[in-house]
Structure 1
């Protein structure tokens, strides 16, 4: 397996947000991490990318942990945050160059890949632009280009659909399909459950810091036959939320 989260207990203080959660993301698989606000999605992601240290449990990426080899662990991972994080003093071109250096990419091959991505997301004529010139959606596209420029084994994508136009959403889903076909793993946190239902291979449903259930949509639907027909209905039923709320 690419990513293994085992009995993870963690959070931002002595009181844990995550309460003994375990799940895996296999090579070539897109797993949807879903839950209401406060369920623990961001806390889980922050532990995986190394911003938080587990209180208990372990996180391994292709057998490597942050403690055993931080550089190898981080070079296997690409992260697209919900809110774009760019350096205001760097142009788009310089962001790409920094990504290539950070991941030790071959410059010639990396620029071939970058040029294709830039055209896909209609940024190819904006290499000299600074972040102040970009809209929120364009900043999000810059983060996507930088992430998919890499040879990462695991892509972590946090709420990718909220700031993107429909064409960009289509292009992102196509990219996810490409990296999956090449054996990479993808963990995606999202509130857009109708899209997740169509494209994710499996789901991890978080509620109040615990895993409510996990599996394919068909497995979850079979386990909770009275919860509803859609992923949205099933999730609301399992978390005790009614439509009126």
Structure 2
């Protein structure tokens, strides 16, 4: 529920509306049209935590691509494909970490969905900070479905799946789209019913994260090339 008040009234009695906003949102109107809401700090942070954006890799900004390309797995978690980690509890998010997450596909978001239909492993591609100091995470989905027509998907080798504790079925990291959200958000999921307090399997090898980063950047650059194609 919320209450509605014109901007002129809120301006004259801000203290009163401030106190009311601690318990319920205040809908502020100007010339009969809603313009802003006044909400409590608790409500603001809850809403921010629930925000999740499904975006195409090709729509990332140059700054985001530069950040992704420079992202690295923390030194203490680095290993190579030549090496042959068990699930971990709520960790500090970092590039290369594979988490359990209710991923929202772009086609689902385009149809109006706000929640992913299936929990799945997702690889963190980038972590950054927003203006409020919150951690923002970008994740790429991992799927069993063969990526038809998508040569940029990165296959997960069986040895990596065994090391992470994932199933043995063939899987791919999809790089043409990502989810962006404020960590930890409301869409982290336990890795299994037997481990309700564990939300991540471990880290990708260095080579795989590098391949994912290159593919994400390639999508964005391909769009820019299409935009200036004069053929």
Q: Greater helix share, 1 or 2?
A: 1
TM-score normalised by length of structure 1: 0.26
Greater strand content: 2
